[in-house]
Amino acid sequence: MEEKEIKVRDREALLFHSSGRPGKIEITASKPLTTQRDLSLAYSPGVAVPCLEIAKNPATAYDYTSKGNMVAVISNGTAVLGLGNLGALASKPVMEGKAVLFKRFADVDGLDLEVSTEDVDEFVNCVRFLGATFGGINLEDIKAPECFIIESRLRELMDIPVFHDDQHGTAIIAASGLINACDLTGRDLADIKLVVNGAGAAAIAVAALVKSMGVSPDNVIMCDSRGVIYKGREDGMNQWKSAHAADTDARTLEDAMKGADAVFGLSVKGAITPAMVKSMAKRPIIFAMANPDPEISPEEVAEIRDDAICATGRSDYPNQINNVLGFPYIFRGALDVQASTINEEMKIAAAHAVAALAREDVPDEVAAAYSGRRLQYGPEYIIPAPFDPRLIIAVPKAVAQAAMDSGVARRPIFDMGEYENQLRSRLDPTAAHLQLISDYVRAHPKRIAFAEGEEETVIRAAAAFRNSGYGTPILVGREDRILHTAKQLGIESLEGVEITNAALSHDNRKYAEFLYERLQRKGYLWRDCQRMVNQKRNVFAATMVAMGQADGMITGLTRNFNRSFSDISSVIDAKDGEIPMGLSIAIAKGRTVFIADTRVHDVPDAQQLAEIAIQAAKKARQLGHEPRVALISHSTFGNPWTEDTDRIREAVSILENADVDFEFDGDMSVDVALDTELLKLYPFCRLSGPANVLVMPALHAATTASKLLGKLGGGTVIGPVMIGLAKPAQITQMGATVNDLVNLAALAAHEAEHG
């Protein structure tokens, strides 16, 4: 099953960028700035001390400032994505996005800088003086040939890494794919005949890199829109093309492709024809990397060749040549050894590291997310998946080692094992696992009922759910109102979205019979059940789920939790051996804490607390965390003792006797549970590190803590996620955003597949 392409509507993208604080990035302080003493240390007079140290020894800037983890993302907007010369200001959303990717994938602080000039000298003169601020420079979306001149001059003038990702990022990932494609087809890099179609920044960088990796220059033919770039050609030439001019009689792309082992397309849709592919050597390697549409699609190749290995730049085909596999991790390794440049040795090391990762066994969580596609080293898996959690270790290590071996590292790493641990701790696994869940749902789309289907936010969420490829959203409500509201919202079409009116459904009698069978001995009459199905959309949606006509449901936007949960629990039972509960997932500053129970149990007894701990630990493990569970109290190990702590201590005893497979302890206050230094005061504590699962003593404490974090914590709170029900039903918080609804709907869809 091929992965679904994610569709994003214009209005949806604009709302994403404009909602809340406009844009995608902000600056936050990494030190406390609360008291006058804090300010005195951060600024005058305390700041003078590190200033003087840096003046004496400039290398200490990496110790006393953020320079060592900061990369400038710089553009003049002359080649923005595939949109052309939009100018510096219009490139800012892309540059902010690049900064977000640096942070998301490698914990590198990216800061975007848009330079309003197309003059090479002015641009270079602007950037050259920024070396004191940043640990590296990432050039982006600058047109050729100016990008070559700018990068070359800045590399000479600056003593920090300067890297044009449009060139080298593409080159590195394409080269890694070529390494594995050659391995699978029994070829040696030194012997392959390669055609590069395109002569822009990426194409020239690809040609240069593969040649430095061992591909014979005599076996590489580059083509542009005028045909083959051959020795002696004068038309449309420049010094960068001339460096790759071939000694050949071929004059057209068609000529060059005859008998070629591999072709790299970095040009335009349709540039490679079926006839050209047919003329290639046995087991051809075809990387059609034009975006958004490749030079030739894998389907077209498959019609004429069953022995080809294909790659594209798209996520909906196997073997995506995706720069995000490279640039965050390359800079991570370069920054960590304070490299003065990113040289050929470091690029080659990155390419080999990415290639080697694809030959290793795929982690279970990654394989599960892409189970619609065979993630086993072979023709359809020569490049790792973009969200493979091993990339953060494999690529920076290789790059750092190459920097040290080639003599450009100013702060060598002496303990690579410890460096691995540091890299592993750089990123919280939650975001990666949530992405893997999203990918899994796209491969296994589900039918999710949105009970409050007439609400604007719900309609937008249903459209986003559909556009994300998660499956079919079912809006419960009156069709005329839903269509009218959608039109007002600017949603052009609700194709792929089902609408069902609870009052008019042909299934109402069947649903009422099902409900009456459940509730007749609980004081409900037949007409009560009929009325509930006809008038209560939560009951209607839950019955759809219970009877298999929807895979899951979501509600809660307009009704409080108790009312929604009462409706749902009248239809859906608890899962065998579990209790219904809410789990909030708080993510802030690269750290995730799970808070339970934030939904159901007012003052849970000891047995319930133990069950909550077990179920929360299970969910934490599913999201990539090794659970360390703290049963929270106002006291810490009996100080001060009150009668209320007895049930918490009893819950700990129950867990001890249950022989669970995770760390736990309690009673303890939340500050002790989360603070490494405070935990050291209690050497008998079972927790090996700060807790990541907090089992709260009562509903009011759990709900207050999670909502406070959501409003003041500077992070993201997902959920509460309902767990413990026999069928997937999620209840969002009143006033939830579109993103909240889509996330919970995706989790419901994932639960429908996994149970």
Identify the weakest region by mean pLDDT among 269-273, 312-316, 496-500: 312-316
355-369, 371-385, 433-447, 727-741, range with greatest mean pLDDT? 727-741
**Distance from C-alpha of 151 to C-alpha of 531, rounded to nearest angstrom:** 71
pLDDT in tens, 53-88: 999 999 999 999 999 999 999 999 999 987 889 999
Q: Which residue has the higher pLDDT, 166 or 34?
A: 166
Confidence band, pLDDT 50/70/90 cuts, at residue 6: low
Q: What is the dihedral of CA 508, 512, 514, 517, to 10 degrees?
A: -170
**Is 663 labeled as ligand-binding?**
no
With CA atoms as reference, report the closest residue to 384 among 298, 325, 315, 444: 325
Task: Express the helix, strand and coil content of the chain in percent, nearest 5 each.
Answer: 45, 15, 40
In the chain, the percentage of residues whose pLDDT exceeds 70 is 96
Q: Which residue has the higher pLDDT, 505 or 136?
A: 136
Identify the weakest region by mean pLDDT among 34-43, 229-238, 737-746: 34-43
Strand order in the sheet with 136-139: 109-114, 70-75, 136-139, 162-164
**Is 266 labeled as ligand-binding?**
no
- pLDDT given at position 704: 87
Q: Which residue has the higher pLDDT, 366 or 483?
A: 483
Q: Kindly name the residue from 4, 67, 92, 98 that is annotated as catalytic.
A: 98
The mean pLDDT value of the chain amounts to 90
What 3-state class would DSSP assign to 228? Answer: strand
With CA atoms as reference, report the closest residue to 226 among 242, 217, 237, 240: 237
- pLDDT given at position 178: 97
Confidence band, pLDDT 50/70/90 cuts, at residue 553: very high
Residue 152: both structure tokens together:
């070359």
Confidence band, pLDDT 50/70/90 cuts, at residue 2: very low
98 is catalytic: yes
pLDDT in tens, 291-309: 888 999 999 999 999 999 9
**Is 265 labeled as ligand-binding?**
no
CATH architecture designation of domain 168-321 = 3-Layer(aba) Sandwich (3.40)
**Is 191 labeled as ligand-binding?**
no
State residue 531 phi and psi, 5-degree precision. -65, -40
- pLDDT given at position 650: 94
pLDDT in tens, 616-671: 999 888 887 889 999 999 999 988 888 888 999 999 999 999 989 999 998 999 99
Torsion sign over Cα 152, 154, 156, 159: negative
- pLDDT given at position 76: 96
- pLDDT given at position 629: 97
Average pLDDT over residues 577-602: 87
**Distance from C-alpha of 61 to C-alpha of 75, rounded to nearest angstrom:** 26
**Distance from C-alpha of 246 to C-alpha of 235, rounded to nearest angstrom:** 15
CATH code for the part of the protein at 581-724: 3.40.50.10750
CA distances from 58 to 51, 400, 487 (A): 10, 21, 60
**Is 87 labeled as ligand-binding?**
yes
Average pLDDT over residues 506-532: 90
pLDDT in tens, 351-364: 999 999 999 877 76
Q: Where are the domains of the chain?
A: 168-321, 439-567, 581-724
Q: Which residue has the higher pLDDT, 695 or 4?
A: 695
User: Above 60 in pLDDT, residue 247?
Assistant: yes
Q: Which residue has the higher pLDDT, 369 or 449?
A: 449
With CA atoms as reference, report the closest residue to 278 among 313, 249, 250, 308: 308
Confidence band, pLDDT 50/70/90 cuts, at residue 127: very high
pLDDT in tens, 341-354: 999 999 999 999 99
The CA-CA-CA angle for residues 185, 191, 193, to 5°, reads: 85
pLDDT in tens, 385-435: 887 888 999 999 999 999 999 999 999 999 998 898 888 877 766 777 777
Which DSSP category does 499 fall into? Answer: E
- pLDDT given at position 644: 82
**Is 57 labeled as ligand-binding?**
no
391 with 355: CB under 8 angstroms? no
User: Above 90 in pLDDT, residue 262?
Assistant: yes
Average pLDDT over residues 475-484: 93
User: Above 80 in pLDDT, residue 51?
Assistant: yes
CA distances from 192 to 44, 329, 487 (A): 63, 29, 56
- pLDDT given at position 374: 60
- pLDDT given at position 282: 96
**Is 81 labeled as ligand-binding?**
yes
Residue 39: both structure tokens together:
């300010």
**Is 83 labeled as ligand-binding?**
yes
- pLDDT given at position 241: 94
**Is 602 labeled as ligand-binding?**
no
CATH code for the part of the protein at 439-567: 3.40.50.10950
**Is 20 labeled as ligand-binding?**
no
User: Above 50 in pLDDT, residue 1?
Assistant: no
Fold match between 168-321 and 581-724? yes
**Distance from C-alpha of 301 to C-alpha of 308, rounded to nearest angstrom:** 7
